Each structure stands twice: as C-alpha cells, then as structure tokens.
Amino acid sequence: MDHVVVMAGGSGTRFWPESRMRRSKQFLNLTGQRPMIQETVRRMHPLVPKENVWVVAGEKDAPHLSSRALGIPAGNILLEPEGRNTAPAVALAAFHIARRDPDAAIAASPADHAVSDERAFRSVLGQGLRLARRTGRFVTLGVSPTHPATGYGYIERGDPFGSGRDAAYNVRRFAEKPDLAAARRFLKSGRFSWNSGIFLFRADTFVHRLARFLPEVHAGLTEAFRFAGRKSFRQKLRAAYRGFPSISVDYGILEKETGILLIPADFGWSDLGTWRSLHEFLGRPGENVTFGNVILSDCRNTLVRSDQGLVAVVGMEDVVVVRSGDAVLVCPRSRSEEVKQIAEEVRRKAPALA
C-alpha cells in the first residue's frame, strides 16, 4: 500500500506575528483555506486513503492536532518526545508503517508547503510512489525553476532513467541554497530543479538505510518498538530520542545514498518561505492581497492581513502589513527575510508576543 508521512515538527518564526513560539507556520491558515497542515493532508486524497496518511509532530504541537480536523485516525498522529529534525521523524513513521504494512511505499512531505495544481501534484506523487516501489530507490520530486531563487535548495539531474510514464532522472547532486550568481547558472544550465522537500521510498529501503547511515536512530527505534502497543512505549521512545542526533533526511540519509532518482514536475509549488513568497503565491505581480478586515486606498503590490479589528493602509507600495493578536508587523516585501530577526528580538524583549 501507499502511505504518506506529513512532517509537521518544524518551528519557524518567518511568519511572525502570525507564527509564534507556540504556533508554527504549518498550523497557520496562510492561503485562505485551512491551516497548511490540513491543506497538506487533504491534498493527498484520493491518491492515498486516510488510514494511510500519517502526521509526525512534536508533543508541544498536540493542541493544534485534531484527528477530526485532519480527517485521519487518531493513531496516525505521531508525537515525537522532542524535535530531532526530519530523519528521526520519518524514521518513527516508517517503523509504525512497516509494522502494519511491510511492503509499504511512502511519500514524505513537509506540512507547510503550498501547491496550486493539486491534480498534477497527485499524479506525480503517484508516479513517484510507483517508481520507489518498483526500484527500491529513493525518489525526489524536483520543481522546474522559474527564476533564480536563492531561497531554495537545488537538485542537479544526471542521465535519464527509465522511460514512458515512469521516466525519471538520476540525481547528480544536491546543491544547498545558492547565491544569486550560482542560482543564475543553475537556471541557465537547464539541468537543475528546485528541491521540493518531498521524497519517496519503500519502507524497507528506508529502514535498511537508517541502519546503515544512522545506526543509533535505527537501534533506538528498534528497541522502543519492542514495546509498541504497550503502555511503556512512550517512555521507551522518550529514552530512545534522548540519544538521537538532530539531523535531516537530506543530510542524514540522502547525501550518503547512491542511485537516487528525480522526477521533474510542475504543480504550482511554493515552500512559502516568507511573507513575500506567500504574496507571490497568492497574487499576480503588483496585486494587493488582503485577508480579514482591511481597507486599502491607493496601494499597490501589498500583502495586508488582519485577524481582528481593522487595518487601514493608504498610499503604500511593496509592503507587508500583518496584524495578528496583539502584534503588528510592517515591512517592505523585499525585506521579508528579516522578519526572523525581528521575531528573535521580540523573543528577547517581549517573550509573551513571540
């Protein structure tokens, strides 16, 4: 069977003041539908049945996780005792899934990315799952770059792999977020995709590579899962997590793995990394995008959001204005990256508002 693991353990401050220490981006309703994590889960239907969709998050996030709102069984919400980045998170889910379904193929997806063409998304996800199942390899989904973005990781394609509806490419290398010059070279070469952060694999492959590349995580989970289904499981898991490194799947496994495949795809993807990228995802260039009770007068290319009361903006261009709870942010679109630092300053000066 096919399964999906939604990685929801992240914490971020780039969407302050909507994101807070106790309310991470994946629990925000950024695109006007539902919280991003609900969008992510919903997007998988009907490709993967609800019983096969898993969410991994931190215990601190439990208040934001309702199996009813997510539309998945309560047992599919996996709470990590502490955040240890994505490798332990996916490993935890893979152990749960392998226990129930040893032949599973798994798509692991961030909880906080946006997709505008969901049909295309499910199509390529299905293709990736088939390919992972058939080959036993790790498969990544690459997004065709539209501009020399410096905020995304890139994947370089090598030789083609296979043909027909399962055609893919061998991955030559993963490149971290480049500077602008490198990003321009990547774009010009035509050989690079943006790393969507979505990867697919067979459960048995993952567990096998975990044993090889992150043996302490494999050993810890193996030990804890001897108590799976028993009362002591959480306590055993907590003990295991204490010894885990904090490491991503990318660094912990994919970088060491060979034979990774890439499927280039276009499904209107954005990682929504900043207020600016949210604005770009939602509006056409120059357009004002508003949420909530907002009055604009003679504005252009603004993103203005209010969760209560009223925000009035007069004669402004290229700015982000966000009112959330007791806090207000005003900054130029082009400086959305700096919101992170502001959120850190708020954490020092007014922790209740961070």
**Contact positions toward a second copy, by CB under 8 A?**
16-17, 293, 295, 297, 306, 308-316, 319, 321, 323, 325-332, 335, 338-339, 341-342, 345-346, 349-350, 353
Compare residues 101 and 307 and give the one whose CB is closer to a second copy.
307
Give 69 or 328: the residue with its C-beta nearer to a second copy.
Answer: 328
**Burial classification of residue 63, based on how many CB atoms lie within 10 Å of its CB (0-12 exposed, 13-18 middle, 19 or more buried):** exposed
Torsion of CA 15, 18, 24, 30, to 10 degrees: -80
Closer residue to a second copy (CB): 38 or 306: 306
Which residue lies nearer to a second copy by CB, 181 or 350? 350
For a second copy, give the closer residue by CB, 55 or 343: 343
Among residues 221, 216, 214, the alpha carbon closest in space to that of 250 is found at 214
Q: How far is the CB of 304 from a second copy (least distance, A)?
A: 8
Of the pair 169, 291, the CB lying nearest a second copy is at 291
Do residues 192 and 157 touch, judged by C-beta distance below 8 A? yes
CA atoms within 13 A on the CB side of 178: 20
Q: How far apart are the C-alpha atoms of 241 and 247, rounded to whole Å? A: 12
**Cβ atoms 14, 274 nearer than 8 A:** yes
Nearer to a second copy, 59 or 338 (CB): 338
CB of 350 to a second copy, least distance (A): 6
Half-sphere exposure of 4 (CA within 13 A, CB side): 26
Please give the full DSSP string across 171-192, using - where no structure is assigned.
EEEEEPSP-HHHHHHHHHHS-E
Q: Minimal distance in Å, beta carbon 310 to a second copy?
A: 5
Inter-CA distances, 248 with 20, 36, 86, 142, Å: 23, 21, 5, 18
300 touches 314 (CB < 8 A)? no
Phi and psi angles of residue 307, each rounded to the nearest 5 degrees, phi first: -95, -5
Q: What is the distance between the alpha carbons of residues 160 and 354, in angstroms, rounded to a whole number?
A: 47
Q: How far is the CB of 270 from a second copy (least distance, A)?
A: 22
